[in-house]
Amino acid sequence: MTGKEKHGTTVYNKLITVAVAFGSLTYGYSSSIIGSTIGQPGWYSFFNLPEAGEPGYATTTTEAIATANGLYSAGGAVGSLFIAWSATSLGRKRNIQLGALLALLGGALQGGAANLSMFQAGRFIAGLGIGILVTVCPMYLSELAPPTNRGWLVGHHAIFLVFGYVLASWLGYACYFATDKNPSFAWRFPLCMQCFGPLVLLATSIFIPRSPRWLLQKGKTEEAWKVLLRLRKSPSDGDDLVAREELFQTKQQLALDQSKLESLGYGPWMAVIKKKSYRKRMIIGFLTQWGAEFAGPLVINNYSVILYTNLGQTGSMPLLLSALWLTTAGLIYNPLGAWLHDRVNSRRWMFIVGLIGCLVTTSGLAGCVAQYAGTMNKAGNAAGVFFIFLYLAFQGTCCDTTMYLYVSEIFPTEIRPIGMGFSLFGQFAATLILLQTAPIGIQNAGWKYYLVIICWCIFFIPVVYFFWPETARLSLEEISAKFGDDVAVHFNDIPEEQRKGLDEFLKGQDILQLEDTATAGELKASMA
């Protein structure tokens, strides 16, 4: 039986993945809902904000929209940095529950807002919860997934994320038609629906296990073993070799990494600054998230209503086009990208192809906006809409699925929360800058604003090509070798005969009592 055959995905693992992915749906919905909210006339009238074309829109309204996005991104940045401490101290599961509670509170405040200040406070609190969820959910999914299916399972984060976008867009479109009868319902109900995802997540989180890697880090070996047995149980693996391999490898790697840091006199927080290989991972993780956001997805999504209006669409059509645009990602592009990751087996090339596509399509969109925005040229405006849709084919398939998967893989367990928190801080820092400047830039600079995205992609593509290591089909522990660190024991990147020798050794051991140290000689003897 080969390693590939042994590493299937159990029903238990799949159910956990779907349950936790509701945290990802919460992120997608909450991040996207502002896009349809600013398309609702009732929202403008309730808060006494001028609509597009009315006096004061370019100042008062634009500032209110930018503040709503800025506070949300700022909350997200704080939440992602909080994870750097709390995911190790409290565990992944408790942070999933905490993030859900904050997202629930933020959604309720926005939907029930009595004034603009209450609405903006809800945006910040929701952002805080979202910052926690968008960091801890892919981290947790990655720690529970087998190497050969990690692309698909962690890819559920991106799939459900865009499901949240889709739900927000279609609700926004449907509620547009309720404006005449009940203007407040048209914008309040979609905002209140932010509570749906976190409620489901809170209910199902009772049944999900703690991360086995976190349990091993805390010395809870027996509990970790029970979790791994349920995750990896298979009729074709009667000796539970996959679970044995994973428990043994993770224990050995944790012990090795800890001993190396102790010899250097570092703790995890100092190691990410002083240890070269850790420092490299931190920079790559940050730039992966920052770079993917500067390729423009949230700018195009959150301001799609404004973009379509500038391209000659009126009435409910901008909301309909926005909903259709995201539906293609939810049904086609993001699931396709997650599926491809376990077949293409190159995170690096998936990311590069996606960035090239974002560059080409954003350039086309900028050209169409420059030539045809505000005109009656149907062909030119249709071409602009085409480039917006084509953009998503590349961004959803290749970038959206890669960015979260990659940063969940590249950090060793002892610094994974710190690395993930810093990486997602990069995402929220980028969104804070872009979403604060986008409405003002689109209003005043027009098509020239897209040069920010275009120039970034031109710079970032060769950076990824030359400096990003490949991580596909390796265990989280074996990825350390790609950054120049030692790996305690290999299973997935060695010849099958050698792996069988290791498995024979593990079958004859009490896996719970096997020492973390003094096993190197035993391993060599088992392969002799």
Q: What is the CATH number of the domain that holds 140?
A: 1.20.1250.20
- Is 391 within the bounds of a domain? yes
Whole-angstrom distance, CA of residue 9 vs CA of residue 248: 19
Whole-angstrom distance, CA of residue 400 vs CA of residue 404: 7
Q: What pLDDT band is residue 1 in, cutting at 50, 70 and 90?
A: very low
Q: What pLDDT band is residue 3 in, cutting at 50, 70 and 90?
A: very low
- Chain centroid to Cα 397, Å, comes to 13
Question: In terms of C-beta density within 10 A (0-12 exposed, 13-18 middle, 19 or more buried), how is residue 397 classed?
Answer: buried
Whole-angstrom distance, CA of residue 162 vs CA of residue 401: 10
pLDDT value at residue 319 = 72
- Is 436 within the bounds of a domain? yes
Helix, strand, or coil here: 371?
Answer: helix
pLDDT value at residue 251 = 95
Whole-angstrom distance, CA of residue 40 vs CA of residue 176: 6
Q: Which of 205, 168, 136 is nearest to 28 (CA)?
A: 168
pLDDT value at residue 231 = 96
Q: What pLDDT band is residue 53 in, cutting at 50, 70 and 90?
A: confident
> Per-residue pLDDT tens for 314-337?
677 777 877 788 888 888 999 999
> Per-residue pLDDT tens for 375-402?
778 787 788 888 888 999 999 999 999 9
Alpha-carbon distance values, 160 to 23, 252, 328 (Å)? 8, 34, 13
- Is 83 within the bounds of a domain? yes
- Is 506 within the bounds of a domain? no
Q: Which of 371, 361, 356 is nearest to 446 (CA)?
A: 371
- Is 491 within the bounds of a domain? no
> Per-residue pLDDT tens for 243-279?
999 999 999 999 999 999 999 898 999 999 999 999 9
Q: Can you give the residue range of the structural domain that contains 330? A: 8-211+268-479
Residue 66, pLDDT > 60, answer yes
Radius of gyration of the chain (CA): 24
E-only strand ranges, 302-379? none
Terminal Cα distance for the chain, rounded:
21
Residue 372 token pair: 């045809």
pLDDT value at residue 87 = 97
Work out how many domains the chain is built from and give that number.
1
Please give the residue that has the higher pLDDT: either 13 or 183. Answer: 13
> Per-residue pLDDT tens for 111-160?
999 999 999 999 999 999 999 999 999 999 999 999 999 999 999 999 99
Contact 439, 64 (CB under 8 A): no
What contacts 429, CB < 8 A, 6 or more positions away? 73, 77, 290
Inter-residue long-range contacts of 361-364, CB under 8 Å, 24+ positions, other chains counted: 361/387, 361/388, 361/390, 361/391, 361/394, 362/295, 362/296, 362/387, 362/391, 362/450, 362/453, 362/454, 362/457, 363/450, 363/454, 364/390
Contact 271, 416 (CB under 8 A): no
Whole-angstrom distance, CA of residue 384 vs CA of residue 311: 7
pLDDT value at residue 37 = 84
Residue 274 has a CB neighbour count (10 Å cut-off) of: 11
Report the chain's mean pLDDT, rounded to a whole number: 89
Q: What pLDDT band is residue 214 in, cutting at 50, 70 and 90?
A: very high
Residue 381 has a CB neighbour count (10 Å cut-off) of: 22
- Is 519 within the bounds of a domain? no
Per this entry, what is the length of the chain? Answer: 528
Contact 92, 211 (CB under 8 A): yes
- Is 444 within the bounds of a domain? yes
- Is 254 within the bounds of a domain? no
Share of residues in the chain with pLDDT > 90 (%): 65
